Amino acid sequence: MTALSRRGVLKSLPLAAGAVVAAGAASPPAAARQAADPPFPEPETRSSSPDTGRLTTRLTVRFTDLDVPGVGRVSTRTYEGTVPGPTLRVHPGDSLDITQVNALPANGDATHEEMNLPHHFNSFNLHTHGMHVDPTGEADNVFRVFEPAAVRGTAAGYRTRVDVPVNHPAGTYWYHPHHHGSTATQVLGGMAGVLVVEGDVDEVPEIAAAREVVVCVSELKVSGGRVPDLTSHGVYDGIASTFLVNGVKNPVLTIAPGEIQRWRIVNAGALTAHFLSLAGQEMHQIACDGVTFMEPVATTGLTLPMGGRVDVLVKGGRPGTYQLTGGGPSQHLLTLVVTGAARSMALPAALPGRPPELPEPTRRRTLTFRSYENVFSGAFPNAYRILGDGETPPADARGGRQDTAWGRYSPDLVNQRVRLGEVEEWTVVNDSHAHSHHPFHLHTNHFLLTAVDNRRLATPIWHDTVAVPPKGSVTFRLRAEDFTGRSMLHCHQLQHGDEGMMQVVEYVN
């Protein structure tokens, strides 16, 4: 098989990188615009106490009217009245103690019966995406349901308590709701926030000297001043996505020539992968999905699936105005202005990363992501299924083709039972049509990506979310560790997940 270089993989895996956008030369208008622009927006930060090792906070979810520059007034569900929600910062060994208040109105679809159709848009829970933490009880438990206060008869909140292991990787993660049936609608309204675990990589001198920038990319579907609920399959098809960075459309960030900044980039969208490109500037990736590399890797473009994260070191080049593009060469996520006195900053030569290696597997599994189009009557004609090992037994296909009953998600059925400490090799196949993107996301444990379309990577890469190419496949090794209990795997195109492209994983001793 053809070996791919690590640099080549990071530039193209698993979809083609975005086109390069030409950079403009420095000019007086650019300098004047930079002077007139407001400071680059950063979400509110809430950090754990160094004395107690605990971050105790409150997240209230309600409908909020936001004035979004370049978009207008938008009514949407938010954490704490902002898009994105506050950035939460903890350390290995800390506890994250969150009280969540559901101040949304009662659901209007209380009699809803079909599990795998979008429903109960005002119920939610909390997923700490990418975190290696307990998936049960009051921790990262996506089987919980946080009902509106009007239904409960009390405004008391729901508690989430996450104990971060002392050996947890330092890196970039995020949080979002994960109630089956309402996830896509809520995330498309901006319900998401960044979660940072600080640790060893932040103490590397060259990284500690760099300005840290959170770049949380939200994808909103705005129509008539609001984000509509997913009440039919095509409700979002005619609505162009609005991409915001830290709640602002195409904000302006400045950097000096020679300056190095550390960007934590999160794709907090539900439907669109981003093909990140920043023409004219050096980019060096130092982490993927929260796991640090062994050394920086230079790149000119990165693929960021829905739910994925990358940490990059950006070095300012020639003075001028440049664009970070994503979702396509004409989609500007932020504007970077290189200006000011030149600085001399160095890149680190080595990083305290997680070695990209696992022993030979003792078990193998194959899963297939498949879309069936126009097989059902009603508002949701398509079926989204996961077939292969551990698929759901046949059931009533509700008027569709009988084989669509295979792979239907049920929270009461364990599809995959994974033993702690055992190394497995999984192949995930995207058997859908050429334009159907299915990012694979596994809760609780990272996995080591070893091949794409049966082509082995010269250097494997740790992920918790990876895009499976249309009509292609990914292969990875998994060694689940530390935590037992029921968890999830699913497609992180969240509309597909809400409509059944999801399975239950149980980690066992």
Contact between residue 194 and residue 88 where contact means Cβ atoms under 8 Å apart: yes
Residue 357 inside a domain? The answer is no
Same domain for 210 and 133: no
* CATH number for 496: 2.60.40.420
Asked whether residue 255 is assigned to any structural domain, the reply reads: yes
Same domain, 175 and 211: no
- Looking at residue 6, its pLDDT comes to 35
Asked whether residue 374 falls in the same domain as residue 498, the answer is yes
What is the biggest distance separating any 2 CA atoms in the chain, rounded to whole angstroms? 68
In a domain, 104, yes or no: yes
Lowest pLDDT segment from 175-184, 185-194, 312-321, 404-413:
404-413
209 with 228, same domain? yes
H helices of 264-359, in order, are: none
Rounded Cα–Cα distance for residues 439 and 308 (Å): 9
For residue 24, the model assigns a pLDDT of 35
User: Look-up: residue for tokens 């999801």?
Assistant: 502
Q: Are residues 302 and 386 in the same domain?
A: no
How confident is residue 437, by pLDDT bands cut at 50, 70 and 90?
confident
Assess contact for 368 and 438: CB atoms under 8 A.
no
Last residue within a domain, chosen from 304, 338, 372 = 338
Which SS3 state, helix, strand or coil, does residue 193 take?
strand
Do 382 and 286 belong together in one domain?
Answer: no
Task: Please compute the mean of the pLDDT values over residues 291-301 and round it to a whole number.
Answer: 96
With H, G, I as helix, E, B as strand and everything else as coil, classify residue 405.
helix
Is 489 in contact with 440 (CB distance < 8 Å)?
yes
Question: By the 8 A CB rule, do 299 and 248 touch?
Answer: no
pLDDT of residue 403: 56
Calpha distance 170→352 (Å, rounded): 10
Burial 116-147 (b: 16+ CB within 10 A, else e): bbbbbbbbbbbbbbbbbbbbeeebbbbbbebb
CB 86 within 8 A of CB 130: no
Q: What is the pLDDT of residue 10?
A: 37
Q: Is residue 265 part of a domain?
A: yes
Residues 333 and 479 grouped into a single domain? no
pLDDT, residue 406, reads: 73
Among 200, 221, 243, where does a domain finish? Answer: 200
Give tens-digit pLDDT for 396-411. 444 444 456 678 899 9
Residue-level pLDDT at 71 = 87
Where residue 9 falls among pLDDT bands split at 50, 70, 90? very low
DSSP 402: G
DSSP 308: -
Q: Is 344 within a domain?
A: no
Residue 309 sits in the same domain as residue 287: yes
Q: What's the pLDDT at 17?
A: 28
Q: In this structure, are residues 319 and 339 in contact, taking their beta carbons and an 8 Å threshold?
A: yes
Structural domain contains residue 352 = no
Q: Give the pLDDT confidence score for residue 394 in this predicted structure.
A: 57
pLDDT in tens, 456-502: 999 999 999 999 999 999 999 999 999 999 999 999 999 999 999 99
Answer for the pair 477, 447: CB distance below 8 angstroms, yes or no.
yes
Report the alpha-carbon distance of residue 130 to residue 291 in Å, rounded: 10
Contact between 220 and 76 (Cβ < 8 Å) = yes
DSSP summary character for residue 14: S
- Bridge partners (DSSP) of residue 55 are 96
Q: Are 220 and 74 in contact (CB under 8 A)?
A: yes
Cα–Cα distance between 261 and 253 in angstroms, integer? Answer: 11
Higher pLDDT, 429 or 70: 429
Shared domain check, 76 and 28:
no
Residues 334, 215 contacting (CB under 8 angstroms)? yes
Structure tokens at 30: 């650019």
Q: How many residues does the chain have?
A: 509
Of 414 and 327, more confident:
414
Give the pLDDT of residue 290: 98
Provide the token pair at 377: 């009557």
Is 212 found in the same domain as 195? no
* pTM listed for this prediction: 0.91
The domain containing residue 258 runs over which residues? Answer: 6-37+204-338
Task: Tell me, rounded to whole angstroms, the distance of Cα 330 from its chain centroid.
Answer: 22
pLDDT for residue 400: 42
Average pLDDT over the chain reads 89
Do 116 and 139 fall into the same domain? yes
Please give the structure tokens belonging to residue 176: 């979002």
Which amino acid is residue 177, in one-letter code? P
Residue 345 lies in a domain: no
Q: How many domains does the chain have?
A: 3
Residue 15 has a pLDDT of: 30
Burial class (CB in 10 A: 0-12, 13-18, 19+), 470: middle
What local confidence, expressed as pLDDT, does residue 455 receive?
A: 97
Contact between 391 and 415 (Cβ < 8 Å): yes
More confident residue, 29 or 286: 286
Over range 159-169, report the average pLDDT. 98
Shared domain check, 255 and 160: no
**Residue 64 CA to chain centroid, in angstroms?**
23
The pLDDT of residue 154: 73
Q: What share of the chain is helix, strand, coil (3-state, %, to 5)?
A: 10, 40, 50
Task: Establish if 356 belongs to a structural domain.
Answer: no
Question: What secondary structure does DSSP assign to 26-92, as a single string?
Answer: P-HHHHHHHHHSPPPP---EEE--TTTSEEEEEEEEEEEEEEETTTEEEEEEEETTBSS-PEEEE-T
Domain final residue, candidates 167, 182, 200: 200
User: Residue 75's pLDDT is what?
Assistant: 97
What is the pLDDT, as a whole number, of residue 5?
36
Count of CA atoms in the C-beta half-sphere (13 A) of 280: 22
Q: What is the pLDDT of residue 502?
A: 96
Range of weakest confidence among 11-20, 272-281, 313-322: 11-20
Residue 299's nearest CA partner among 18, 2, 1, 3 is 18
Sole residue written with tokens 């009988």:
402
